[in-house]
Structure 1
Amino acid sequence: MIDDRRKTLRQDKEAAAWFTVLNDATAEVENEDLEKFDKWIQRDGNRAAYRRIEDISSAAGALRNDTEMQAAARQALARPTQKQPGPARLSLRMPRLWGGLALAGVVAAGLVILIGGQAKTYETDVGERMTAHLDDGSTVELNTDTRLRVKFRLGERRLDLVKGQAFFNVAHDARRPFLVTAGPMEVRAVGTRFDVRHDGPGASVVLAQGKVQVRAKDVPEAAWTLSPGQELVLRPGVRAHPQTIGRG
């Protein structure tokens, strides 16, 4: 397992270096280097690694605004570059390759956030409220005495409302669904606005805009789709069905 993760990280770093070289608009890629790239990408796992770097590049807008990424970039670019020992090292001779390897350190940090899913926790005390600005452009308004855990990955945005109440204004991203768990409930959205309350063994969701899918975590076949203005409450021993707010 550890060896597999090391191999994947090495492939991601190599892929980041290749991506930088092949997308450098200031320099021409030589045929010799294209042949080397063709041999590299044919090796087991390298094509998938290169696609991961392409995905990260498309998500770079969020990373550029991330202070942790900016700090990682400064540290990576400030480090002296050294050739990597062993058969896995890249043999490109172009000077800009080393800039690519420096960028690989930044991309590796990005992989921790986008693929590894670095978790963040937002919390309010009794009588306190706050607005959390998430890395994807979404915002969450936390009510009093609320705790929210956020873990973004490359393929999904997952949040756990441990307790309390929060209003979610979700940035649209069809490739990464926005998943909120609260006690027995999981809410799935793409780009929408909704409120979730987690109180003891139960939870509720109110949809303000867009559309969400709600399911009971312990009963996979129990699922509902809400329309704006509807509320769903899940509590042990109580039959659940969507209700329009203001009606019985």
Structure 2
Amino acid sequence: MNEDATDPIVMEALEWFVRMRDDKVTVADRQAFEAWLAADEAHAAALKHAQALWTRFDIMQPEFDRMRRGRPLISRRNFILGSVTCIGGLGSLYAINQPGLFAEYKTDIGERRTIGLPDGSTVELGSYSALSTRFSETERRVELYRGEGFFDVSHDPARSFLVDAGGGTTQALGTKFDVKFVDDLVTVAVSEHAVQVQGRGFSNLRLEEGWQISYGRDGLGQPIQASLDTVEAWRDDRIIFQDVPLRRVLEELERYRRGRIILMDSSIGAIPVTAVFETARTESALQTIADTLGVRLLNAANYVTLVYSAG
């Protein structure tokens, strides 16, 4: 069989190869994959060629590293097995390690949802987000597993309102704030009053209205003044970038479409992007980025998008 990525069967196998490793994979996806695999003996061979092709060009490892960082319960042995084979048990492997799989509230890709909480507070969930609540007589605690939420907190001096995300906790000291948890980075922005941000490895910090801060593997960053129009643009189905590195722009766009966007050339990841995109038109956004920055896009059956330098 031709191992070139232009071979139609290999291209189709590439799509399945990545789709089955996507944390957005659905039960229907897994059933369709098994049907595709059983339909023709050539498909299993194509799948092996696809895996070899990706390994050769070293474009799988960053994705696997990112998934592995967020899944401490998966053993090295199982991770390697899951990386090498797509046949048998793949769906269950990813199902048990999908963040927020059993979350109380979830949104699909491109969906926004406003949820009324038992205490009268509300949270608006952004695209592909998940959270659960644990309310008691002494505190109101929310865990954001992934995505973004805008919180409007009701006053209750007897019970603190806490949002856990990415190893840190944001405590409401007022009413309205935004918490975003994407790719191991948490960003908190305050729209009204103040919050207190605390976590392992860094001291408690009070964040006032109009300010934002991020924390992640490298600890707590420095507070910066927030552009609240930019922070809350997703609530109007827009995303705004102001001198944001290309790699982070692609990570954000990925939240609003099915499939992976993979940056093949790390040297262009730091290129700053300033733009306003509609969340429902991510393909158009990708093409605009390509035309503006002079980068190239390669689509594998519209599921995998590879971004690399045009030079």
Q: State the TM-score, normalized to the length of structure 2.
A: 0.39
Determine which structure has more spread, i.e. the larger CA radius of gyration.
Answer: 1
Q: State the TM-score, normalized to the length of structure 1.
A: 0.49
